[in-house]
Amino acid sequence: MLKLTKDFDTIKKKYLDVIKNTPKMKRFAMWDYGKHPTDEMIKDYIDHDEMYVMTEGNDVVGMVAIVMSQDRGYENVHWARILKDDEVSTLHIFAVVPEYRGKYFGLQMLRDAIELSKKAGKKGVRLDVLRSNIPAQLMYEKAGFSYRGMQRLYAENTGWADFCYYEKLFA
């Protein structure tokens, strides 16, 4: 079960572990700590009660920021249903710690994020992912998310890149 965290040091350490120990990180996610994610980004998610972890025993096995509104920039996507920004949640910096991959923690994190969003009265969950991150896209689709289109955008860590958009509606 996902739970809120305020433990910045552990979260930072786990993201650094993900970046350092993910084969093909430069191909799939293109994360570069300090550019994406950043200390400021993580602290902001923590300060706004949006940073969640999944644990197995005392170990953090995954992290995700769940923002209870839609991001700017999402208005240009051809969503299945037009919803107000405050009617959806968005997922960010979704990661499973390398030694826990392949054990379905990612799918469970997505299910938990959906349930948290439902309990908050949202009508759906949306997210974006690099087009090159095929493993993540397959996981999102397996969790019932629908592909809704692509945009070419500039980001500090990727330069110009294609981002795919997914949503899971439930109301």
Residue 171: the pLDDT is 67
Residue 26: the pLDDT is 87
Residue 155: the pLDDT is 86
Residue 131 structure tokens = 């087009």
Residue 69 structure tokens = 């509104």
N-terminal to C-terminal alpha carbon distance within the chain: 22
The yes-or-no verdict on residue 61 having pLDDT over 80 is yes
Residue 159: the pLDDT is 87
CATH of domain 3-169: 3.40.630.30
What residue type is assigned to position 42 of the chain? I
* Percent of the chain predicted with pLDDT > 90: 89
Per-domain boundaries in the chain = 3-169
Q: Supply φ then ψ for residue 65, to 5 degrees.
A: -95, 130
Average pLDDT over residues 8-20: 97
Cα–Cα distance measured from residue 18 to residue 170, given in angstroms and rounded to the nearest whole number: 31
Cα–Cα distance measured from residue 60 to residue 63, given in angstroms and rounded to the nearest whole number: 8
Contact assessment for residue 135 and residue 90, using Cβ atoms and an 8 Å cutoff: no
pLDDT in tens, 128-161: 999 999 999 999 999 999 999 999 998 888 889 9
pLDDT in tens, 107-128: 999 999 999 999 999 999 999 9
pLDDT in tens, 27-51: 889 999 999 999 999 999 999 999 9
The yes-or-no verdict on residue 167 having pLDDT over 90 is yes
Count, in order, helices (H) and strands (E) of the chain. 5, 7
What residue type is assigned to position 104 of the chain? Y
Secondary structure element (H or E) that encloses residue 152, with its range: strand 146-155
Confidence of residue 10 (pLDDT cuts 50, 70, 90): very high
